[in-house]
Structure 1
C-alpha cells in the first residue's frame, strides 16, 4: 500500500524554460550580443546541453566527461560543468556565462506542469506525505515557494546537500527515512529510467512520466491518483 510519494523535480514537477527564452533573458540582462546570430547561438547551446534542466548534451567534450557525471555532487561542480558546456557552445564572455548560469536558478525560469499543483494538493488531502528527490547543484526550495508549492512538500532531498546522486539507493533511503516510511510503501515518480529507477533497488514502486515541455504534457501526473486508489 502506498503511504507516501517521492517526486523528481526537473521534467517531473516543473520544467525549465526553453533555450531560446533562457538565452534571450540573459542577453537582455547583460546587453551583450553573441558573436553568432541568435538562432545559431541557441542551437549550439542546445547541442551542448548548456541549459541545466534542458536537453542533455549531444556532444560532450572529453575534458568535461568526469565533471558531467558528478555535476550534481556540489554547487561548484554543477557550475563548472555547465559553464564548461556554455564555453564549448561558443560563449566565452564571462559576464554572459555567469548570467546564463544564474538565470536558470530563478523561479521565473521554471514552470510547473498543469497538474503539479492539483496532484500535490490531492495527495495532501489524502494524508500522503511528499518528498522531492533531485539531482541538483543548487537550492530549489525558492522555486517551490515562488510557485506556491512549498507548503505541499514535506521533505527535500537534494544531491548537492547529501553528496550522493541518483540512482544511488542512499538518496532514496534518506527520503524514505525523512518521510518516516519504509521504501516498499513509497512511490517514486520521475522522468529518468536510469536515475529515478534506482529506487527499485530499495523495493520502492516506480512510476515514470515523460520529460516534455509544459504545454505538451497537461496530464502526466494525474494517473498517479488512479494508481493510489480512491480517497
Structure 2
C-alpha cells in the first residue's frame, strides 16, 4: 500500500502553482509579487499536497473544516479555498488555484516511482494507493504512465473515512486480498500512514521532499519485498 502525495508524487512548488494560475488567467504580475503571495499561500497551508497549516494557527471557524477536509469532495474544496482566502491575494483566483492542483501538470512523480511500481508488478505484488484526498487522482497516474501498476485506489472521499482510521486500510487489504502482516504501508506521515500499524501492517516512512531532492527513497521497498518472495 502506498500513500499518494509526498510518497509517490509531489505537488509543484507554491510559486509554480500561483504563477501558472495567473498566467492562465492573463494576469500580469511581477516576479516579486508572485514570490510574496506564494509565500503567503504556503504560510497558511492553502496548497493541497503542500505545507500543512499548524492547527494552532487555524481560525476557529476553519478547525472543523480542516479536520474533515478529506471526507468528501465538498469538504475538501471548501477547506482549501477558505485557506487560500486567508493569504490576502489581490486576485480572485481561489477556485482556479484549487482547480490547478488537480491537474497532472501540477504533480511530479518521484524519480523512482515508476521503477518501483513496475518492479512490484514484475514480482506479482499487488499495489493499492491509499490516500486522504477529496478528488479522483486516477487521471494523475494515467497521465504519468503508472496507472497500470496500481491494482486498487482507496480514496478517503469515496468512502468517507480517512487515515489514520484503520477502516481505510482494511478496505485496501480486502481489495488486495492480502493479510496485514504481509502488506507494507509506505507513506510520509507517521500520524496518518502509521495508522496501518493498528492492523498489524509494517510501515515504511519516507521524507516528502520536492521530487528532484529525493531520488531513491522508495527503493528500499524492493529490498523488503525481495526478501519476502
* Rounded Cα–Cα distance in structure 1 between residues aligned with 2:98 and 2:145: 24
Query: Equivalent residue for 2:63?
Result: 65
Query: Equivalent residue for 2:141?
Result: 144
Matched residue of 2:62: which SS? helix
The answer to whether residue 39 in structure 2 is matched with residue 43 in structure 1 is: yes
Matched residue of 1:73: which SS? coil
Matched residue of 1:165: which SS? coil
Q: How many residues are paired up?
A: 225
Gaps of at least 5 residues in structure 2 are: none
Query: Equivalent residue for 1:17?
Result: 12
Distance 1:108 1:208, change over 3 A: same
TM-score for both structures, normalised by structure 1? 0.94
Query: Equivalent residue for 1:56?
Result: 52
TM-score for both structures, normalised by structure 2? 0.94
Gaps of at least 5 residues in structure 1 are: 1-5
Shifted more, 29-38 versus 82-91: the winner is 29-38
Alpha-carbon deviations, 1:54-113, whole Å to 9, x = none? 01114322211110011000111000000010001113754x111100000000100100
Query: Equivalent residue for 2:159?
Result: 162
Give the drift of 1:182.
1.6
* Rounded Cα–Cα distance in structure 2 between residues aligned with 1:122 and 1:134: 22
Give the drift of 1:34.
6.7
Alpha-carbon deviations, 1:197-231, whole Å to 9, x = none? 00000011111000100011000000111122356
Query: Equivalent residue for 1:125?
Result: 122
* Rounded Cα–Cα distance in structure 1 between residues aligned with 2:221 and 2:128: 15
